A and B are shown apart, each in its own frame.
Chain A
């Protein structure tokens, strides 16, 4: 049971959260097995049967579908649902509506089973982007719908908590962590409407045969309406931890409560008007529309830079409070023996490089060099694959003991695990990015490739990707074993509390009251979306010409 002064979260409510986190970690493990197969496919000689050693991977692309779907959608969403609702409940000091919490868990579970089942049976070799006219089994699309609905339900549970809390506290500031939850899930709810329309309005009925032709260009734009903000839905739970937990874990102070709120609100505003930057090279979209999204994309860099400053400031204050001196002396004094802290600081370092490489992608003309090349996996294994995933591993190092009451085992190994991941992903991304700059395409089985043997730069890329990916896998496997052993055999009196950074330089009362006015921010977000996407959806002429093709 989670207890803060006077508040105890009932065990049953916690259990749904814990099991959603377990589900996320289970698909994480499955996903990285597929990742290992992909990495090895780049270094082992023409072993076109290699990935068959891994479950559910008759072909490279079946494994790649599992990898993308499980890691980018399953792991991130399920972990976030469990973790974020726990944080919101604790912050509001209330138990969430049990039926909604349970429904979220069951939607996620059934959705995951449908998606995993259709992938394993080879009925959905369409990769996680599921671009039509590649067609998957209807149950694959249905599973994706349930997974998204599960996030809506968690968002609803948080909104209900807020309503009940607000009734009792008409004039108080929303607790910071709860505020971050609300901004994150509000952002994602609005953003997910694109993919909801795509799947419910186009893909699902089309795969059921209700109509036989579809517009691939339109479907792509609906997908990317949600496809860029989804990265902030992955990221914001990590930001919540960096802003409102890490300062406590390192013994420092959060720089500014109001600025933290503003950052989350900026993501609510700016996440969605950016999606066309994934479609710079699409033939069916006017350049001036792409330009609007270019500007919003550059703008969304801004809150991330505020974050870089604030998070470093909090770390520095912690290091200095622990006796660190001089320009850099405080770094050594940080609690590097705490795996939760180490993993998250290393995640920040990886994320910084990932974010900078994202500026390259966003930069329009440079996008022509890197679009759809191996550069992209190089980029996003630093962002979601490290900034988010390694943060979630770090969070797990206190979250699992917190929810199970079992102390973390093998702390040293856990610290090593975090470092290994960073070393692995640096090697991996160095390889992928170098290949990408030389036009090495992504989403491609290298061992079966019929060209490219004459391009030396690609061979270096494959080697580094293979080595780095293997190191990442070893690290991920260590993480899985540590969590498993903690759950099964961790010392029983190990319950740790949830870290809450309540020491601040600038407290909540310094913030503008308008920060609390949700209708203003949500209204503004909708206006920006209408401005950025309206012209496309209003001027685009439907072109329903493509019949389904089995991959």
Chain B
């Protein structure tokens, strides 16, 4: 089969471009440590409410010490429990520099879990536990939102994660938010 010179050149450049893209991806993964979500645990969605297994027996923020936190959430129609509608704005507070591990699972349908201005982006699929970790260096208010259609109230499903500047972060950081 005959391929003309210009076309050969063009296809060669395409291959080079694709190789560059793959190289950039490899660099992002290896040098910057960006990882995709991957399997961590499974859970029976019905048990999440009836007899929640760890870590979902303790919803909300859990201070693990040393700047590490767990945030255990039920993504349910249509809130991230324990942040029920009246607690969505207040959400949760952590000090700047906190490393938060999010454990999220759904007792009903598929939901999403995305934190604006971060690389946290994971599906929440009944039967699976979604676990992602992020270090919040920049203080500010982060919007956490559901980005998968989950029924009639999908557009109401969010909460706010407040990252306090170092000075303001008090000893109460671990207790704030929807936990009670």
Give the interface of A toward B (CB within 8 A).
59, 61, 64, 125, 127, 131, 133-134, 215-217, 220, 255-256, 258-259, 262, 279-287, 290, 294-295, 298-299, 301-302, 305-306, 309-310, 313, 359, 363-365, 367-369, 371-373, 438-439, 441-446, 448-452, 455, 505-506, 510-512, 543, 545-547, 549, 551
Contacts and interface: CB of A to CB of B under 8 A. Distances in A.
Top-4 shortest CB links A-B = A441-B147, A439-B116, A372-B147, A283-B130
B128 A283 contact: yes
Given A365-B119, A443-B154, A545-B44, 18 more contacts: A127-B149, A134-B150, A217-B128, A262-B1, A280-B36, A283-B124, A283-B125, A284-B42, A286-B38, A298-B21, A298-B22, A302-B15, A309-B10, A372-B114, A439-B117, A441-B146, A449-B155, A546-B127
Contacts of A546: 45, 109, 126-127
A449 B151 CA distance: 13
Contacts of B14: 301-302, 305
20 contacts: A61-B152, A61-B154, A280-B36, A281-B123, A287-B36, A298-B22, A309-B11, A364-B36, A365-B25, A368-B34, A368-B120, A372-B121, A372-B147, A439-B147, A442-B147, A443-B154, A448-B155, A451-B156, A451-B158, A545-B45
Contacts of A283: 37-40, 122-125, 128-131
A249 B143 CA distance: 52
Interface in B1-57: 1-4, 6-7, 10-11, 14-15, 18, 21-22, 24-25, 28-29, 32, 34-40, 42, 44-46
A131 B111 CA distance: 11
A67 to B, nearest CB: 13
Contact of A368 (B1, B21, B36): B36
A217 B125 contact: yes
A127 B46 CA distance: 24
Contacts of B28: 364-365
Contacts of B125: 216-217, 220, 282-284
A374 to B, nearest CB: 9
B148 interface: yes
Contacts of A279: 123
Contact of B36 (A281, A305, A549): A281
Contacts of A284: 39, 42, 125, 127-128
Contacts of B174: none
A259 B46 CA distance: 55
Contacts of A363: 21, 24-25
Contact of A256 (B3, B121, B129): B3
A371 B121 CA distance: 7
B11 A306 contact: yes
B39 A452 contact: no
A545 B46 contact: yes
B57 to A, nearest CB: 19
Contacts of A301: 14, 18
A234 to B, nearest CB: 22
Interface residues of B, number: 66
Nearest to B149: A443
B92 interface: no
A511 to B, nearest CB: 6
B110 interface: yes
A258 B50 CA distance: 63
Most chain-B CB neighbours within 10 Å: which of A262, A306, A369, A545?
A: A545
Contacts of B98: none
A455 B142 CA distance: 11
B108 interface: yes
B175 to A, nearest CB: 24
A127 B77 CA distance: 17
B38 A285 contact: yes
A134 B21 CA distance: 37
A179 to B, nearest CB: 14
Contacts of B120: 368
B108 A549 contact: yes
A82 B48 CA distance: 50
Contacts of B15: 302
Contacts of A302: 11, 14-15, 18
A365 B34 contact: yes
Contacts of A450: 85, 88, 155-156, 158
A365 B29 contact: yes
Interface in B137-180: 143, 145-152, 154-156, 158
B60 interface: no
A506 B2 contact: yes
A279 B137 CA distance: 28
- Most A CB contacts (10 A, CB to CB) among B1, B46, B108 go to B1
B112 interface: yes
Contact of B38 (A255, A287, A295, A359): A287
Contacts of B149: 61, 64, 127, 134, 443-444
Contacts of B34: 365, 368
Interface in B70-115: 77, 85, 88, 108-110, 112, 114-115
Contacts of B115: 439
Given A134-B151, A306-B11, A309-B7, A545 B127 contact: yes
Contacts of A442: 147
A438 B150 CA distance: 21
- B7, B35, B127, B156, most chain A CB atoms within 10 A: B127
B158 A364 contact: no
A551 B148 CA distance: 13
A511 B155 CA distance: 55
Contacts of A441: 112, 114, 145-147
Contacts of A448: 155-156
A303 to B, nearest CB: 10
A545 B126 contact: yes
Contact of A305 (B11, B24, B77, B147): B11
B26 to A, nearest CB: 10
